[in-house]
Amino acid sequence: MGRLLYDSGHVDEKTKVANERASSKIGKGSFSWAWQFDGTAEERERGITMDIAVQTLSIPHRNITILDAPGHRDFIPNMISGASQADCTLLVVGASTGEFEAGFDRGGQTREHVVLVRSLGVTQIVVAINKLDLVDWSKGRYEDICHQLKPFLVQSGFQSSKTHFVPVGAMSGVNLVNREGQDAIPLNTWYSGPTLVEDMVDRLQPPRRDITSPSRFPVSNVFKGQGSTTGVWGRVCGGLVQVGETLRVLPGDETAVVKAIETETDRVQWAAAGSNVTLYLTAIDPIHLDVGRVLCPPTDPVRLASVFTARIIVFDIQVPILAGTSIELFHHSRDVPAAISKLNATLDRASGAVIKQNPRVLTKGASAEVQVAIRQVAFGGTGVRSVVIPLEPFSINKEMGRILIRRGGETIAAGMYIRRLCLLHSQTWPVVQVLC
């Protein structure tokens, strides 16, 4: 992506040379293009992406926000945060000997990332098969990778009509923006399709935005703004956000005023659903702004849940899911400890009809309705605190209703929030659960 930004005129020569010199100085010369996104000292020293980096690419008929997500398994939570804000995905796989196989074999990151992005609602995918120059631009190697990936992408939920493959050689810039020059001659002997940029322009379609619903803004990052403001970055998941508007912060009882709205390049007066923007807030103590909280209108807040019912699909797991299984629950940029407290029913994946009530276990490929309970957390050494998260039914807001479930560093299921369970406590009556 660093090379693509340079070839399309979004990175100047001075920045390119500075990155080349600095990366060579610490023995990381081959990572100079990645430094356009990997900006922290730790990322540059380790040679891996650790957090979400954002850049804007302006091409004919499109303004594209690029969210560069980590590929390393240690930073999957950050990858989930980025993927939850995406409309389309660009999957980069290496064609060099053994590299594709390492990512595509069972437990590989290529497989997990495909499942994650599809589970988070992304329906369009472009696969950039990179490093073909290292295998002499072999048409056979390209076709072999396509042949292995296509059925897996369909199995994961991507339609063939919304799946595209592009051969590239990123280090030399072949087939990113153009296929000109000596380096492109071997590829031109057998490939005449679109370049990567042409694929993004002609084939990727922006989804329809819901701008009539109440505004929803999950916070993905918090930082100090200018003066007395606090900046929060994220994606508008519904409705509109305007300068001067008062928003409530959930969980909590605080409100904040939007002083300014900023995209990657401009300051704007409003932002609609689907926009990745920074809101500069006033009239609130920064202590009340955390990653994972949601901003919404005070008159139409998001419901909070600590125990809720979800419909999930179980992935390719080795250890079955039982009632009481401890999990890590992901919703946008928030992850909290939780448990699958009850297995309500297994369902038919096509029709949603109940197959079996109160199953004992959930195994690979199962579709089920389960009860999820967020765990209380300890604080102050002796006390415990109930944890609630803002959720909205999938039928009302798809982006606010999607959840991911992980266990032991592995993504085991994904699904949708259906309804919450209210726990009513009384000094004289037992605890009662009611559907809300």
Residue 407 backbone class (left: φ over 0; alpha: ψ -120 to 50; beta: rest): beta
pLDDT tens-digit readout, 390-429: 999 999 999 999 999 999 888 899 999 998 775 544 333 3
What is the reported pLDDT for 399?
92
Q: Check pLDDT > 50 for residue 90.
A: yes
pLDDT digits (tens, 9 = 90+) for 336-370: 999 999 999 999 988 889 999 999 999 999 999 99
Q: Alpha-carbon distance 403 to 50, whole Å?
A: 22
CATH of domain 217-296: 2.40.30.10
Burial of 71 (0-12, 13-18, 19+ CB in 10 A): middle
To the nearest 10 degrees (0 to 180), the angle between helices 109-119 and 76-83 is 40
Comparing 77-81, 240-244, 246-250, which segment has the lowest mean pLDDT?
77-81
Q: Domain 2-202 in CATH: superfamily?
A: P-loop containing nucleotide triphosphate hydrolases (3.40.50.300)
Q: What share of the chain is helix, strand, coil (3-state, %, to 5)?
A: 25, 35, 40
Structure tokens at 133: 């120059």
- Exposure class string for 152-186: b at 16+ Cβ within 10 A, else e: ebeebebeeebbbbbbbbbeebbbbbebeeebbeb
pLDDT of residue 73: 79
- Rounded (5°) CA angle 247-293-210: 65
- Max mean pLDDT among 51-65, 71-85, 309-323 falls in 309-323
Asked whether the beta carbons of 400 and 216 are under 8 A apart, the reply is: yes
Q: Which fold has domain 304-435?
A: Elongation Factor Tu (Ef-tu); domain 3 (2.40.30)
Query: Do 217-296 and 2-202 fall under one CATH topology?
Result: no
**Is residue 254 a contact partner of residue 288, using CB atoms and an 8 Å limit?**
yes
Domain extent listing, the chain: 2-202, 217-296, 304-435
Which token pair is 391? 């959720």
Whole-number pLDDT of residue 311: 95
Distances 228 to 134, 257, 262, 285, 286 between C-alpha atoms, Å: 52, 12, 16, 10, 10
Residue 200's contacts (CB-CB under 8 Å, 6 or more residues apart) are: 59, 62, 64, 88, 90, 126
Residue position matching structure tokens 């001659």: 185
pTM, two decimal places: 0.86
- CA pair distance 314, 406, nearest whole angstrom: 11
CB 392 within 8 A of CB 417: yes
Pairing between strand 230-235 and 255-262?
Answer: unpaired
pLDDT tens for residues 367-397?
999 999 998 876 655 566 678 999 999 999 9
